[in-house]
């Protein structure tokens, strides 16, 4: 990453008392679904969990690893342990998290830890894999939730673990001490490569004084590269959802300026018939990502076509129709190529026919008037109207690479090609913090360098265009 001076001297912290690891004879532990999901240990090697059969070249790990929002074992129980239930637990479960592995060896791991819902947080650091306790990067602690929030010591350790007979304990182990309600716990998680493009994170919390079971879960990360060059197609409005879906599926073979379409944009209120009101509008989605009939059909089409969708959608204001005043929200939905609903932006300053929205949903910690989403098409922001200069500066500060604005209407299909800037050539955005190791002091940013650049995709006249803009 350009734009940084040399770092300060690394710090090694005292080792806290963590107690023994979870015993495989613990009856609660060995009765749980995460324990039964794993049978047999992988081959012996110097880097347990990352054996040379699956990983003949360590450099194959370098790249973007994305936490699955849908694949997990026991996460609901884990969330309850940290005091999160219902919608808050679901939103925490679904929060995007990425690990961009920049360098990997037996001795150390360099990573960019990305949490885009937290003001576009990018935190680059190196963990020595040597059993020493290092600071948890302060930029991450400052935006903590669940286990991070209660780690008052803000330190962790990374080391290789052969499992001592427990296959779930084979891998790159991270451990740290937690204190919750005056009780000391040990949080441990083991990374292991279970497919060439998939990692399992086995997470266990034990009582630090006894090593007894507290809670156990597993999450999974998949390696998915970013496509920096592609095309966007903006489709005409159509009140028939079946025709909308058919046009989306047909766009799977479309090109624009010689580049394959990867993102489809649908205009505002494309779900609304002429004269439609609250009854015809789409119910607001819920955590867990259930959605109404229109968005569900669009999501299915996105999955069938393997295309990303930015969809203008009119939403109901509330679960019951208000007796008076505005009854509708002006929204924009972002849907992944697998049909996953990543988020909905509601216009905070709409015309009088609409109720003022709150910005981006979901949000785990605090309101997100403007938000960004990490995707295989870059870090995307969706907006109901073209942002002004201050709005673009705010999105650039969160590392947005593409800003998409649906048109009010679209009479014929048009599109544009997109070329994302190489962020390695630019000054880091406001939400980017870089450490030589894990902290405590960040590396100083140099003066000068190329300004952050993003692409704004919106309607200009009768044509949908994608314009590169430096901020």
pLDDT beyond 90 at 374: yes
Work out the average pLDDT over 67-94: 81
Same domain, 323 and 337: yes
What does the pLDDT average to over 366-391?
95
- Edge-to-edge strands, sheet with 373-375: 373-375, 378-382, 402-404, 453-460, 463-470
> Is 257 found in the same domain as 239?
yes
Give CA–CA dist 248/263, Å, rounded: 10
> Please, is 430 exposed, middle or buried when counting C-beta atoms within 10 Å of its C-beta (0-12, 13-18, 19+)?
middle
* pTM across the whole model: 0.92
Asked if 199 and 306 sit in the same domain, the reply is no
Q: Is residue 4 included in any domain, yes or no? A: no
In a domain? residue 6: no
pLDDT at 146 over 60: no
Predicted confidence (pLDDT) at residue 131 exceeds the cutoff of 80: yes
Both 307 and 260 in a single domain?
Answer: yes
Same domain flag for 374 and 245: yes
153 part of a folded domain: yes
Confidence of residue 383 (pLDDT cuts 50, 70, 90): very high
Question: How does pLDDT run across 29-74, given as a tens digit for each residue?
Answer: 999 888 988 888 888 999 999 999 999 999 999 999 999 988 999 8
Q: Do 301 and 380 fall into the same domain?
A: yes
Q: In what helix (H) or strand (E) does residue 28 lie, and over which residues does it extend? A: helix 27-30
Domain with residue 376: its CATH number is 3.60.110
Residue 19 falls inside a structural domain: no
Average pLDDT over residues 292-300: 95
Q: For the chain, how many structural domains are there in total? A: 2
3-state secondary structure of 281: coil
Which pLDDT band, with edges at 50, 70 and 90, does 448 fall under?
A: low
Residue 388 clears pLDDT 50, i.e. is over it: yes
Same domain for 74 and 167?
yes
Q: Which of 223, 250, 273 is the last residue of a domain?
A: 223
- Is 3 part of a structural domain of the chain? no
- Residue 257, in any domain of the structure: yes
For residues 190 and 241, state if they share a domain. Answer: no
Residue matched to tokens 């076509």: 305
* 201 and 302 together in one domain: no
Last residue within a domain, chosen from 196, 223, 250: 223
Do 296 and 424 fall into the same domain?
yes
Domain end call among 223, 245, 274: 223
Which tens digit of pLDDT belongs to each residue from 411-444?
A: 999 999 999 999 888 889 999 999 999 988 999 8
Stretch 210-223: mean pLDDT: 95
Answer whether residue 9 is part of any domain. Answer: no
Residues 266, 302: Cα–Cα separation, whole Å: 12
Torsion of CA 201, 114, 309, 88, to 10 degrees: 70
Domain range holding 47? 27-223
What is the distance between the alpha carbons of residues 65 and 73, in angstroms, rounded to a whole number? 19
- Please say if the pLDDT value at position 91 is more than 90: no
Tell me: do 316 and 345 sit in the same domain: yes
Residue 17 lies in a domain: no
What mean pLDDT do residues 319-337 have? Answer: 92
pLDDT of residue 1: 45
Least confident of 80-84, 96-100, 167-171, 416-420: 80-84
Going by pLDDT thresholds of 50, 70 and 90, the confidence category of residue 305 is very high
Across the range 241-254, mean pLDDT stands at 94
- 24 contacts 165 by C-beta, under 8 angstroms: yes
314 has pLDDT over 70: yes
Does 120 share its domain with 137? yes
Cis peptide before 195 (omega within 30 of 0): no
Question: Residue 184 belongs to a domain with what CATH number?
Answer: 2.40.128.20
Average pLDDT, the chain: 90
Q: What backbone torsions phi and psi does residue 372 show, to the nearest 5 degrees?
A: -130, 160
pLDDT of residue 220: 97
């Amino acid at each position: 990453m350009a734009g940084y001076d040399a770092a300060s001297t690394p710090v090694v912290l005292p080792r806290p008392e963590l107690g023994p690891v979870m015993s495989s004879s613990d009856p609660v532990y060995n009765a749980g679904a995460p324990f039964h999901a794993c049978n047999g240990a992988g081959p012996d090697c110097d880097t347990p969990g990352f054996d040379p059969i699956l990983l003949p070249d360590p450099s194959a790990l370098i790249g973007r690893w994305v936490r699955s929002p849908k694949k997990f074992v026991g996460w609901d129980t884990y969330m309850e342990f940290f005091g999160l239930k219902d919608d808050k637990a679901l939103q925490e479960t679904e929060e995007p998290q990425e690990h961009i592995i920049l360098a990997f060896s037996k001795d150390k791991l360099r990573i960019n830890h990305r949490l885009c819902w937290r003001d576009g947080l990018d935190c680059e650091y190196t963990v020595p894999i040597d059993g020493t306790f290092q600071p948890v990067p302060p930029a991450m602690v400052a935006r903590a939730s669940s286990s991070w929030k209660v780690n008052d010591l803000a330190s962790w350790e990374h080391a290789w673990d052969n499992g001592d007979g427990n296959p779930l304990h084979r891998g790159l182990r991270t451990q740290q001490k937690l204190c919750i309600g005056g009780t000391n716990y040990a949080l441990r998680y083991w990374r292991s490569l279970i497919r060439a493009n998939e990692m399992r994170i086995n997470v266990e919390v034990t009582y630090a004084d006894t090593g007894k079971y507290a809670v156990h879960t597993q999450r999974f990360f998949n390696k998915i590269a970013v496509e920096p060059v592609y095309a966007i197609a903006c489709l005409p409005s159509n009140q028939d959802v079946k025709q909308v879906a058919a046009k989306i599926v047909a766009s799977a073979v479309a090109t624009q300026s010689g580049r394959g379409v990867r993102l489809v944009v649908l205009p505002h209120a494309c779900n609304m018939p002429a004269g439609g009101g609250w009854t015809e509008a789409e119910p607001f989605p819920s955590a867990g990502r259930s959605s109404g009939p229109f968005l569900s059909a669009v999501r299915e089409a996105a999955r069938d076509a393997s295309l990303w969708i930015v969809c203008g959608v009119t939403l109901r204001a509330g679960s019951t129709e208000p007796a008076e005043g505005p009854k509708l929200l002006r929204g924009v939905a972002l849907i992944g190529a697998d049909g996953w609903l990543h988020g909905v932006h509601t216009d905070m300053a709409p015309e009088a026919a609409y109720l003022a929205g709150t910005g981006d949903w979901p949000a785990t910690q605090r309101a997100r008037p403007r938000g960004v989403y990490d995707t295989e098409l870059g870090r995307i922001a969706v907006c109901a109207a073209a942002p002004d200069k201050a709005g673009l500066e705010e999105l650039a500060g969160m590392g947005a690479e593409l800003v998409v604005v649906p048109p009010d209407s679209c009479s014929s299909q048009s599109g544009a090609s997109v070329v994302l800037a190489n962020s390695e050539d630019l000054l880091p955005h406001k939400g980017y913090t870089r450490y030589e190791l894990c902290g405590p002091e960040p590396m100083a940013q140099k003066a000068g360098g190329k300004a952050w650049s993003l692409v704004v995709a919106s309607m200009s006249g009768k044509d949908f265009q994608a314009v590169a803009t430096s901020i």
